[in-house]
C-alpha cells in the first residue's frame, strides 16, 4: 500500500471515529464573524471568530503552530498548553490534518518572534478532507494537471488566485466604464438558428422541442444591432462566445467578450473609446500607463494607426493591392508557407496579417481592411474597396475588432451573397445569410460603431500571462482517453 493510500485510509478512520463520538465532520454552517484580513488588522487582545483551510501544521509538543487561510488572507494560529483548553488541543492533535477546513475562536496576540497570530480557545471541524494536499505543485510537468484540477492550483499557488481576482476587477471596471458612458447592458441568445456576426466556424447542436438544428453563438453582433434598430442608442453585452476552431495559447473554444454598439458614431469614435477603456483599466490595476508584458515594456500613452495593406507591405514586403483572382492569392500564400487550401482573394490579407501580428508590441490599430473581409462594415469614405474597420494589437496580441457598422440593407444583402459564394469555395468561416437582420435594416438602423474585445486576451496582457488557459478559471481541456475514475 502506497503512502498516499495510507493517509487516505487514516483520514477515513478519523471521520468514522468523529461520527462515533457524536461529532459531525461536515456540519451545515459556521458563524464566521471575522475575515482573516480583518484579524490581521485587529489590536492585540481582540477576540475573533474565523474560519478557513488549515495549512502547514507543525509542532506537536506543548505549543502547536499552523497557518489558516481564507479568501482574504493567511494568519498563523497557535495552540499552547496552559492557555488553550486541553479538549481543544486533543481534538486538534487527534483529528485535524493539513487541508481540513476549520472554524476557530481565540484572541489576537504576538509570539516571542513578534509574529501576529491567533491563540486558539475553541476549534470546530467544518470539513474533514480525505485527500491530502500535494506537497509540490510547481513546474511545467504539472501544467496540464494544474488546469484540470484548478481547485488545487488555487489552493497551492496564491499568484494564480490573484489572476482571477484581477479578472473580476477588470470586469467590474468595464461595467463602470460603460455605465459612465451611458451604455445599457443587455443579453442576447446563445442558441441561434443562424450564426453570424463574425467570420468563424460554429458549434452545432439540436433542439428537440422544435426538431431543428441550432448553433452556439459565435458573436452577439447582429442581435445587438437589432437593438439599435429598436431604439436603444448605446448597448453592450459581456457574454460567452463559442468557436469551433481548435485551441492554442491565444484561443479557447469557449471565451468571453465585451461588445458595444454606439449609435451616431463611427470607427474613429470606437478607437477613442477603446483607448480610453484600456487606459482606465491600466491605471486602476497598475496606477500608470506603462507595464511589462512577456519581457517587453508597454506604453499605453502612444497609439499607432496603420492600414492593413500598408502593414503587410511593411512587415512582409508584399503588395497585395492588385491581387484579382483566387489563383494569385493561393500563389502568394504558398510563397509565405501558408496552406493554400481555402485561401481566396477575400481572406488572403487576413491570413498574411497572422504572420506578423506578434510584432505589433506597442499599441497599434490596424485599420481599413479590404471590404471583402468585413461584410458587416461600412465602405471607407473615399475608397469603397476598403472597409472602415480597426483591430487593436498590444503585446503581439489581437485584442478585438470593430467597424463603422453597415446599415444599408441593399449593400448588406449583397455582402451576404458574396459570403455564401466564398463558403462554396472552401472558406468555412464565411457567414450565412441572415434574412431577418436584413429586414431589420430595412426598418432603419442609425449610423453606428460596434466594438468587440476579447476579454481573456486583455486579461492575459494585464496579468503578464502567455496562455489563455492561465486566465480562464476552468479552461477547456482535451478529454483524457480511457481514464477510469475510481471512488476511493
Kindly report the average pLDDT of the chain as a whole number.
92
Residue 416 in this model has a pLDDT that exceeds 70: yes
Look at 361 and 477; give whichever has higher pLDDT: 361
Q: Which pLDDT score, from 0 to 100, does residue 57 have?
A: 87
pLDDT value of position 415: 85
Domain final position from 127, 147, 174: 127
pLDDT in tens, 42-96: 999 999 999 999 998 887 678 999 999 999 999 999 999 999 999 999 999 999 9
CATH number of 7's domain: 2.40.50.140
Judge if 461 and 331 occupy the same domain: yes
State residue 422's pLDDT score. 73
Q: Is the pLDDT of residue 138 over 60?
A: no
What are the tens digits of pLDDT across the range 426-470? 666 666 778 899 999 999 999 999 999 999 999 999 999 999 999
Residues 109 and 172 reside in one and the same domain: no
Domain at 279, CATH number: 3.30.930.10
Whether residues 282 and 398 share a domain: the answer is: yes
Assess whether pLDDT exceeds 50 at residue 485: no
- Domain containing 272: what range? 155-470
Q: 124, 102 in Cβ contact below 8 A?
A: yes
Cα(456)–Cα(472) distance, integer angstroms:
7
Domains: count for the chain:
2
For residue 350, tell me if it sits in a domain: yes
Kindly tell me the burial class for residue 266, based on how many C-beta atoms sit within 10 Å of its own C-beta (0-12, 13-18, 19 or more).
middle
CA atoms within 13 A on the CB side of 331: 8
For residue 145, being part of any structural domain is answered with no
Q: Grade residue 486 by pLDDT with cuts at 50, 70 and 90.
A: very low
Q: Looking at residue 137, what is its pLDDT?
A: 52
> 30 to each of 35, 98, 124, 151, 190, how far by Cα in Å?
13, 19, 9, 22, 39
For the entire predicted model, the pTM comes to: 0.89
Instruction: State residue 140's pLDDT score.
Output: 39
Instruction: Tell me the pLDDT band of 272, cut-offs 50, 70 and 90.
Output: very high
Same domain, 115 and 212: no
* pLDDT tens-digit readout, 206-261: 999 989 999 899 899 999 999 999 999 999 999 999 888 877 778 888 999 999 99
Task: Return the half-sphere exposure (C-beta side, CA atoms, 13 A cut-off) of residue 294.
Answer: 13
CA-to-CA distance for 3 and 134, rounded, in angstroms?
A: 12
CB atoms inside a 10 Å sphere around CB 288: 11
Q: Which residues contact 56 (CB under 8 A, 6 or more apart)?
A: 66, 67, 98
If asked whether residues 245 and 363 sit together in one domain, one would say yes
Tens-place pLDDT, residues 361-412: 999 999 999 988 888 899 999 999 999 999 999 999 999 999 999 999 999 9
Q: Output the pLDDT for position 73.
A: 95
Q: Let me know if residue 329 belongs to a domain.
A: yes
Q: Are residues 106 and 192 both part of a single domain?
A: no
Please tell me the predicted confidence (pLDDT) of residue 180. 98
pLDDT category of residue 487 using cuts at 50, 70 and 90: very low
Cα separation, 113 vs 308, in Å, equals 63
What is the maximum span of the chain, computed from C-alpha positions, in angstroms? 90
Angstrom distance (rounded) from CA 224 to CA 264: 15
Q: What is the chain's alpha carbon radius of gyration, rounded to the nearest angstrom?
A: 29
pLDDT-based confidence at residue 168 (cuts at 50, 70, 90): very high
**Residue 183 domain-assigned (yes or no):** yes
The pLDDT assigned to 356 comes to: 96
278 and 165 assigned to the same domain: yes
For residue 402, give the nearest of 304, 230, 284, 274 by alpha carbon.
274
Residue 148 forms part of a structural domain: no
**Domain assignment present for 415:** yes
Could you tell me the three cell numbers for 45? Answer: 487582545
End-to-end Cα spacing for the chain: 14
Average pLDDT over residues 146-170: 93
Question: Is 170 found in the same domain as 121?
Answer: no
d(CA 432, CA 372) in angstroms, rounded, equals 14
In a domain, 42, yes or no: yes
Same-domain status, 56 and 174: no
Q: Give me the percent of the chain exceeding a pLDDT of 70.
A: 95
Do 80 and 170 lie in one domain? The reply is: no
Do 75 and 162 share a domain, yes or no? Answer: no
**Residue 476 falls within a domain, yes or no?**
no
Q: State whether 167 and 81 are in the same domain.
A: no
What pLDDT score does 265 carry? 98
Amino acid at each position: 500500500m502506497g503512502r498516499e493510500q495510507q493517509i487516505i485510509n487514516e483520514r477515513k478512520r478519523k471521520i468514522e471515529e468523529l461520527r462515533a463520538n457524536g461529532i459531525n465532520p461536515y456540519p451545515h454552517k459556521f458563524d464566521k464573524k471575522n475575515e482573516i484580513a480583518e484579524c490581521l488588522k485587529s489590536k492585540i487582545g481582540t477576540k475573533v471568530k474565523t474560519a478557513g483551510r488549515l495549512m502547514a501544521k507543525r509542532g506537536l509538543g506543548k505549543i502547536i503552530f499552523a497557518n489558516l487561510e481564507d479568501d482574504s488572507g493567511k494568519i498563523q494560529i497557535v495552540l499552547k498548553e496552559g492557555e488553550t483548553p486541553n479538549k481543544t488541543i486533543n481534538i486538534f492533535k487527534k483529528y485535524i490534518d493539513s487541508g481540513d477546513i476549520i472554524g476557530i475562536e481565540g484572541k489576537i496576540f504576538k509570539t516571542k518572534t513578534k509574529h501576529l497570530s491567533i491563540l486558539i480557545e475553541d476549534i470546530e471541524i467544518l470539513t474533514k478532507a480525505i485527500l491530502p494536499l500535494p506537497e509540490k505543485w510547481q513546474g511545467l510537468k504539472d501544467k496540464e494537471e494544474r488546469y484540470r484540477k484548478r481547485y488545487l492550483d488555487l489552493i497551492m499557488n496564491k499568484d494564480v488566485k490573484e489572476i482571477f481576482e484581477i479578472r473580476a476587477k477588470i470586469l467590474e471596471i468595464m461595467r463602470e466604464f460603460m455605465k459612465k458612458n451611458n451604455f445599457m447592458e443587455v443579453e442576447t441568445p446563445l442558441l441561434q438558428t443562424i450564426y453570424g456576426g463574425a467570420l468563424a466556424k460554429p458549434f452545432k447542436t439540436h433542439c428537440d422541442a422544435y426538431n431543428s438544428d441550432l448553433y452556439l453563438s459565435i458573436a452577439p453582433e447582429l442581435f445587438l444591432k437589432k437593438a439599435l434598430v429598436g431604439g436603444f442608442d448605446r448597448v453592450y453585452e459581456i457574454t460567452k462566445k463559442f468557436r469551433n476552431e481548435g485551441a492554442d495559447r491565444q484561443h479557447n473554444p469557449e471565451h468571453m467578450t465585451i461588445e458595444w454598439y454606439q449609435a451616431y458614431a463611427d470607427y474613429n469614435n470606437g478607437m477613442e473609446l477603446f483607448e480610453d477603456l484600456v487606459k482606465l483599466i491600466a491605471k486602476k490595476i497598475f496606477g500608470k500607463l506603462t507595464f511589462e508584458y512577456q519581457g517587453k515594456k508597454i506604453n499605453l500613452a502612444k497609439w499607432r494607426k496603420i492600414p492593413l495593406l500598408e502593414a503587410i507591405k511593411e512587415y512582409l514586403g508584399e503588395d497585395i493591392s492588385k491581387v484579382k483572382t483566387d489563383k494569385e492569392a493561393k500563389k502568394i500564400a504558398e510563397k509565405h508557407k501558408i496552406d493554400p487550401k481555402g485561401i481566396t482573394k477575400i481572406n488572403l490579407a487576413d491570413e498574411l496579417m497572422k504572420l506578423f501580428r506578434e510584432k505589433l508590441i506597442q499599441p497599434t490599430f490596424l485599420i481599413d481592411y479590404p471590404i471583402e473581409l468585413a461584410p458587416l462594415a461600412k465602405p471607407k469614405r473615399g475608397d469603397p474597396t476598403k472597409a472602415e474597420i480597426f483591430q487593436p494589437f498590444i503585446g503581439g496580441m489581437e485584442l478585438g475588432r470593430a467597424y463603422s457598422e453597415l446599415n444599408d440593407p441593399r449593400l448588406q444583402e449583397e455582402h451576404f451573397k458574396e459570403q455564401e459564394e466564398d463558403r462554396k469555395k472552401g472558406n468555412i468561416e464565411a457567414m450565412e445569410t441572415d434574412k431577418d437582420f436584413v429586414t431589420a435594416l430595412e426598418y432603419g438602423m442609425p449610423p453606428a460603431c460596434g466594438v468587440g474585445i476579447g476579454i481573456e486576451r486583455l486579461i492575459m496582457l494585464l496579468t503578464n500571462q502567455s496562455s489563455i488557459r492561465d486566465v480562464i478559471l476552468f479552461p477547456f481541456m482535451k478529454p483524457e482517453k480511457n481514464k477510469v475514475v475510481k471512488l476511493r
